[in-house]
A and B are shown apart, each in its own frame.
Chain A
């Protein structure tokens, strides 16, 4: 059974940093592209970033480019999102999502971790 468990969310001041983690199980982690998707309160989801299985290909939404860094440790079956220069508009539930081999959809999601950016 595929399981994705996010952690690392919390309250942070504007301009601060936070690192999210997502531990994966139930599949061969290194073989699959992984993504982060966020959902601000009362809004629809927003794609944030994607990383290929090897980590060699990385993509970001314009809204986070230059501030967020996605990475993965395949030896630990863990996906990361380093978030710097956080803004109020980054407040959201952050979900880790697995992509199938075609990487054109998100086939499994975690339950998310809440990030609140506020002074």
Chain B
């Protein structure tokens, strides 16, 4: 399986909204509503932010939202805060208990 495609970097000012895209294929993102998004601060454990495309785990701010259209999933962060600055990765279930990840997007809060 090939990795999912994400932009290498995005940036935004505090209070603004940003969207990170994650493009896969009809074998992964397009076939399953099972895309998840992780926030990763270097040196710490990755943190689940969105699962099953648009669901938030308990304790995750509603500033984080997810969506999907065709083979592309998206993560939107509204009301950007300094602590949102991190690397973000998407992940899709790809069938037969396998998974594929994106290459990651570095979010900079200006």
Residues of A within 8 A of B (CB): 4, 35, 37, 43-47, 50, 57, 59, 61, 95, 103-112
| Stretch of B13-21, B75-83, B90-98 lying at the A interface | B90-98
B97 touches A103 (CB 8 A): yes
Q: Is the CB of B104 within 8 A of A59?
A: no
Among A47, A57, A61, A110, chain B packs the most CB atoms within 10 A around the CB of A47
- Say yes or no: B48 contacts A47, CB within 8 Å: no
* B17-45 interface code vs A (CB 8 A; 1 in, 0 out): 00000000000000010101010000111
Chain A residues positioned under 8 Å from B6 (CB to CB): 44
A47-B100 in contact (CB<8A): yes
Contact at A45–B45, with CB atoms within 8 Å? no
Instruction: Say yes or no: A95-B46 contact (C-beta < 8 A), given A44-B102, A50-B97.
Output: yes
Contacts of B3 in A (CB 8 A): 44, 46
Q: Which of A59, A95, A112 contacts B96 (CB 8 A)?
A: A59
Chain B residues with Cβ below 8 Å from A4 are 45
Q: How far is the CB of A24 from chain B (nearest CB, A)?
A: 13
Q: Give the interface residue-count category, chain B.
A: 20 to 34
How far apart are A34's CB and chain B's nearest CB, in angstroms? 12
B91 to chain A, nearest CB (A): 7
Asked if B46 contacts A44 (CB within 8 A), the reply is no
Alpha-carbon distance A37/B48, docked complex (angstroms): 14
Report which residue of A35, A61, A104 has the largest number of chain B beta carbons within 10 angstroms of its beta carbon: A104
* Min CB–CB distance A2 → chain B (angstroms): 10
Contact status B104-A104, CB under 8 Å = no
- A32-B97 Cα distance, complex, nearest whole Å: 14
Q: CA A43 – CA B103 in complex, angstroms?
A: 6
Contacts of B89 in A (CB 8 A): 44-45
- Sorted nearest first, the 8 A-B pairs with minimum C-beta distance are A47-B99, A44-B103, A59-B97, A45-B101, A109-B45, A105-B51, A105-B36, A109-B46
Q: Which of B48, B52, B96, B102 contacts A106 (CB 8 A)?
A: B48
Given contacts A35-B99, A44-B103, A59-B97, 20 further A-B contacts (CB under 8 A): A4-B45, A43-B103, A44-B6, A44-B102, A44-B104, A45-B38, A46-B3, A47-B91, A59-B96, A95-B46, A104-B32, A104-B52, A105-B52, A105-B91, A106-B48, A108-B45, A108-B48, A109-B45, A111-B43, A112-B45
